[in-house]
Structure formats: C-alpha cells, structure tokens
C-alpha cells in the first residue's frame, strides 16, 4: 500500500482515517537523526521504549503507569491473558479503562487470548486502549489466535484503533507476510508468552531481519516491536535493534531499575548505538 495513503483504509466501501500522531505510526516515526555508520537495514526508525505492566504492582497499577509516564516511556503495554492461549490470567478491559484516569500516555494492548475472546471483545479493547482524547491506541492480535486475521485487523482499524499483529517464537515469519500492508506494528515475541522474566531466544534475531527486509523493500510504514527478555545489553536490545526492531517491550528489564528514567535512558542508548545512530538522537 502506498505509504502516503496508508492511514486511509477502505472497509465495506467506507473510508476510515486514523489519527496517527498519537501512536507514532506515521512517517514522522522515521528517526530524525545524525548517523555514524548505520547497522540496520534501511533508514532507522525512532527508538521507542514500551514497558509491560506485568512486573508492576497490580494493587497500584494506575500509580505505576503514572511513574512510567514520568520516566519518559513512549507508551505502556497491557498484557491481556485469558489462561487459554497462554498459561496465565491477568485482567480485562475494565482494568485498562481505570488506568486511563492516571496518565495521558498512549496505551498498547496485546491480546494473548483465545480466538473466541478476541471475536467477542475486540472492539471493547480497542475502545479502552484509546488516548484521553480518543486517539487510536495500539491493539495487537496474535496470528495464532485469528483464523480470519484480515477481518480482525480491519475491525481494529474500523473501531478507531491502530491494528497490529504478533507472532510467537515457533511461528514462521511468513505467517504475517501477507498482512504487512494492513498493520502499523509487527510484534515479534522473543520468549514464549505467558510469564515475565524469561530469557531472550537468540534465534529470533533472524526472524526480525527477515520481517524488516520485507517492510523496507515494500516501502511500508510499519514498526517492529520485540517482547521478551529485553534488557540494556548488546545480546538482547542491541541484537534486536541492529536486526531492525525499533520498539522494545521491557518488563522486568525496566522495573529492575530503582530509577525508571535511568532504565529508559540505558535501554534507549543501547538501541541507538546498535542501530548505528548517535546516542541522544531519540
């Protein structure tokens, strides 16, 4: 799809235009940078640090979201788990709605749920993921849980969200190749989903490279996110950034810092260095 008209999607004969600025899904997301020697394939995209709320204190989740906003995070990810798609249970849409009262930060919701749950509640999750003024929030569905993936992504866009797709470590990249023109983000799971604090799976680096090449070669306006085991190390965030990822989900890797802003800075600097971009150019 032509990048200049990517934000206009025609569904059932109706043109729907999403507001891209809030979720950084437009061409402005290409990094405004001075470079040294670029490592990443194509023009580097803006580094974004996106904490997962899994390690947060669920008894004061709203307050922790406010802390993350004050630390300089780009948005926050809510990991919705139903005990079926993954072996854990977290929360539903009402919890996300309550957190909006505490912060103006953009939201991102990853639906690690069964297909039945996705079908029944997709529009509700789109609604609670929106910004304080109705800006589109990122809503991520898993390819493994969507028999009709094109339809699910279209429903997210039609409801005013930013459609995005995730794939588990064992899932080939080719499973999402034919929907790249319908999404704003591709999330590569770098651990098996369901629990925080797991170790990065090194073989995911090649998957990131493959998806990045497809995106660049087709001139698509799509971010690559990575989720799982991300820390301020060359072996995790460094490898992912050099491979082409630019959005980094950090849970325990960020909450391990007493000063969250220090964690955001260290993660960002390591990613920029791996991209071959001057540190401080976020």
What are the structure tokens assigned to 186, written together? 């591709």
Q: How confident is the model at residue 37 (pLDDT cuts 50, 70, 90)?
A: low
Do residues 189 and 166 touch, judged by C-beta distance below 8 A?
A: yes
Please, which residues have CB within 8 angstroms of residue 141's CB and are 6 or more apart in sequence? 111, 118, 122, 149, 152, 153, 156, 163, 164, 165, 166
Only one residue has tokens 């890797």, namely: 253
Whether the predicted model's global pTM rises above the 0.85 cut:
yes
pLDDT tens string 190-242: 999 877 778 999 999 999 999 999 999 999 999 999 999 999 999 999 999 99
Least Cα distance to 209 among 239, 232, 182 occurs for 239
Query: Strand 8-11 relative to strand 14-17: parallel, antiparallel, unpaired?
Result: antiparallel
Cα angle for residues 8, 227, 126 (degrees, 5° grid): 40
Please tell me the distance from the alpha carbon of residue 222 to that of residue 235, in angstroms, as a whole number. Answer: 24
| Distance between CA atoms of residues 260 and 35, nearest Å | 27
Residue 36 has pLDDT above 70, yes or no: no
Q: Which residues participate in catalysis according to the annotation?
A: 79, 227
Tell me: the pLDDT tens digits for 77-99?
999 999 999 999 999 999 999 99
pLDDT at res. 13: 40
List, in order of start, the domains of the chain with CATH numbers. 3-275 (3.20.20.70)
């Amino acid at each position: 799809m032509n990048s200049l008209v990517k934000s206009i999607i025609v569904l059932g004969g109706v043109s729907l235009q999403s507001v891209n600025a809030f979720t950084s899904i437009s061409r402005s997301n290409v990094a405004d940078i001075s470079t040294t020697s670029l490592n990443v394939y194509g023009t580097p995209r803006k580094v974004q640090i996106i904490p997962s709320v899994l390690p947060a204190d669920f008894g004061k989740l709203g307050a922790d979201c406010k802390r993350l906003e004050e630390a300089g995070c780009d948005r926050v990810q809510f990991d919705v788990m139903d005990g079926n798609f993954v072996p854990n249970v977290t929360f539903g849409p009402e919890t996300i709605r309550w957190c909006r009262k505490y912060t103006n930060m953009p939201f991102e919701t990853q639906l690690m749920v069964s297909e039945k749950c996705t079908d029944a509640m997709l529009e509700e999750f789109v609604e609670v993921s929106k910004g304080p003024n109705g800006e589109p929030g990122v809503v991520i569905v898993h390819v493994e849980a969507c028999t009709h993936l094109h339809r699910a992504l279209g429903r997210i866009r039609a409801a005013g969200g930013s459609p995005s797709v995730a794939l588990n470590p064992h899932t080939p990249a080719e499973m999402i190749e034919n929907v790249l023109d319908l999404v704003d983000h591709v999330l590569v799971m770098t651990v098996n989903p369901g629990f925080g604090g797991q170790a990065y799976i090194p073989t995911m680096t090649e998957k990131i490279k493959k998806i990045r090449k497809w995106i660049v070669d087709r001139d698509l306006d799509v971010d690559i996110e990575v989720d799982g085991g991300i820390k301020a190390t060359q072996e995790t965030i460094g490898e992912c950034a050099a491979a082409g990822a630019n959005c980094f989900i950090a849970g325990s890797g960020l909450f391990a810092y007493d000063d969250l802003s220090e964690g955001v800075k260290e993660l960002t600097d390591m990613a920029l260095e791996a991209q071959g971009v001057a540190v401080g150019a976020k």
